[in-house]
Structure 1
Amino acid sequence: MNCWTGRAVRLRAIIAEDWSQFHDNDQDTDSARSSDSIYFPRSEAGTRQWTEETAAKRASGDSIMLAIENLDGELVGCISAHSCDSRNGTFKYGVAIFRDHWRKGYASEAALLLLRYFFHELRYEKAVASVYGFNESSIGMQERLGFTLEGRLRSMIFTQGKRHDELVFGLLKSEFDDSHSLE
Structure 2
Amino acid sequence: MLRGKSVLLRPVRRSDLSHFLKWFNDPEVTQYLAMYLPMTEMAEEKWIEELGSRATTHAMFVIEVLEGDGNRPIGTTGLSGINPKDHRATFGIAIGEKDYWSKGYGTEAARLLVNYGFEQLNLHRINSGAIAFNERSIRMHKSVGFKEEGRQREAFFKNGKYHDHVVFGMLKEEWKGL
Whether these two folds match at TM > 0.5 is: yes
Between structures 1 and 2, the one with greater strand share: 2
Aligned to 1:35, what secondary structure does the other structure show?
coil
Query: Which residue of 43, 49, 55 corresponds with 1:53?
Result: 49
Task: Report the Cα distance in structure 1 between the residues aligned to 2:44 and 2:139, rounded to whole angstroms.
Answer: 33
Deviation at 1:52, TM superposition (A): 5.4
Task: Report the Cα distance in structure 2 between the residues aligned to 1:52 and 1:145, rounded to whole angstroms.
Answer: 28
Which residues in structure 2 correspond to 1:134-145 (within 5 Å)?
134-145=133-144
2:172 alignment partner in structure 1: 173
2:93 alignment partner in structure 1: 95
Task: Report the Cα distance in structure 2 between the residues aligned to 1:168 and 1:52, rounded to whole angstroms.
Answer: 27
* Contact residue 25 and residue 38 of structure 2 kept, 8 A: no
Q: Structure 1: which 5+ runs fail to align?
A: none
The aligned amino acid for 2:155 is M
Deviation at 1:70, TM superposition (A): 1.0
* Contact residue 20 and residue 44 of structure 2 kept, 8 A: no
The verdict on how the C-alpha distance between 1:152 and 1:77 changes in structure 2, with shifts beyond 3 A counting, is same
Q: What's the TM-score, normalizing by structure 2?
A: 0.88
Query: Which residue of 68, 73, 89 corresponds with 2:63?
Result: 68
**CA-to-aligned-CA distance 1:17-43 (integer Å, 9 cap, x gap):** 22222222133102111022222253x
Task: Report the Cα distance in structure 2 between the residues aligned to 1:113 and 1:123, rounded to whole angstroms.
Answer: 14
Q: Structure 2: which 5+ runs fail to align?
A: none
The aligned amino acid for 1:87 is K
* Contact residue 15 and residue 51 of structure 1 kept, 8 A: no
Aligned to 1:139, what secondary structure does the other structure show?
helix
Q: How many aligned positions are there?
A: 174
Work out the percentage of aligned pairs sharing the same amino acid.
30
Aligned to 1:71, what secondary structure does the other structure show?
strand
* Contact residue 15 and residue 52 of structure 1 kept, 8 A: yes
Aligned to 2:110, what secondary structure does the other structure show?
helix
* Contact residue 25 and residue 37 of structure 2 kept, 8 A: no
Please say which of residues 17-26 and 143-152 is displaced more in the overlay. 17-26
The Cα RMSD (Å) is 1.9
2:18 alignment partner in structure 1: 20
Is 1:110 the counterpart of 2:105? The answer is no
Q: What's the TM-score, normalizing by structure 1?
A: 0.86
